[in-house]
Copies of this chain bind each other. A is one copy, B any other.
């Protein structure tokens, strides 16, 4: 046998999915040549590349992920790391949709890697690092000093955070501008004549807690309103807990006349507490709420909502991880989405 064609396949299995070997056989080229032709390497002739590409397309060649992964370590996987607990109000759905919309145009697959917040948030990160399970990671619920960010940075695995950190590490992120949300919320409430305001805040250990508080307090100063203290519960508590704590507050002498709710589901509980205290939303009290979905606007149009578009967040996050993987500088992969008040649902027919 000619040594030049020593490694050429003799027979090919019928009906199996095509590999480089298949194309090598069909074009009469070597496997290496085919591989390099498909990656547009400079040492392959233009006409050869064309031929290879044509055949590859014809037979529907798609590189075997396991082969690539074994040889190169490239997984073509983006891992979305989630707490099982945070997902109750359904933030995941639009997020997953947004991410997959972007990944659809790439070779990346989305793998969901959950963890129980009760346990160690670092566990899934370690797993991914130790097993090389992904090329990039998306994490959320960031803390000012987030050990996950430290670890990922140290080990050089590309990632993006939903939320910022404060640890002097420049990394890709997407965030909702919670400072401005709270600030604008206060402005709106004061414009309605409200002066005693309360904030249903995020849990204190998360970064956006201080953002939201800062915006709230800046608003109070700029628009001259007072804060009513309400630290008994936060948006991570159960709806029943929030409701009951808020009922107590609303029955007290210190009852607020304006509410800023840091979450859409929290708003539901606040409304319930308020009504149990025999107050009426829109009369005794106004409310501005962050809202990732539509139901508040439909069912409680008297609540003023600022929409947090989680789907767009998902798209931004996906673009940012991929950018990071592709070596773009982290400072170019940071974005902040600006809150805007939602218009009321159109009330007329044929809206």
Contacts and interface: CB of A to CB of B under 8 A. Distances in A.
A29 interface: no
A268 interface: yes
Interface stretch (A88-96, A217-225, A229-237, A331-339): A88-96
B17 A130 contact: yes
A89 B247 CA distance: 29
Interface in A223-276: 239-240, 244, 247-248, 265, 268-269, 271-272, 276
Contacts of A293: 89-90
The 8 closest A-B pairs by CB, nearest first: A90-B90, A66-B69, A92-B93, A66-B70, A90-B93, A100-B114, A268-B298, A299-B299
Nearest to A345: B272
Interface string A70-109: 1000010000001010011111111011001100100001
Contacts of A6: none
Contacts of A100: 82, 84, 112-114
A132 interface: yes
Interface of A: 17, 60, 62, 64-67, 69-70, 75, 82, 84, 87-94, 96-97, 100-101, 104, 109-114, 130-133, 239-240, 244, 247-248, 265, 268-269, 271-272, 276, 293-295, 298-300, 345-347, 349-351
Query: What is the copy number of this chain in the assembly?
Result: 2
A239 B69 CA distance: 45
B97 A87 contact: yes
B295 A265 contact: yes
A100 B112 CA distance: 8
A110 B111 CA distance: 6
A92 B248 CA distance: 35
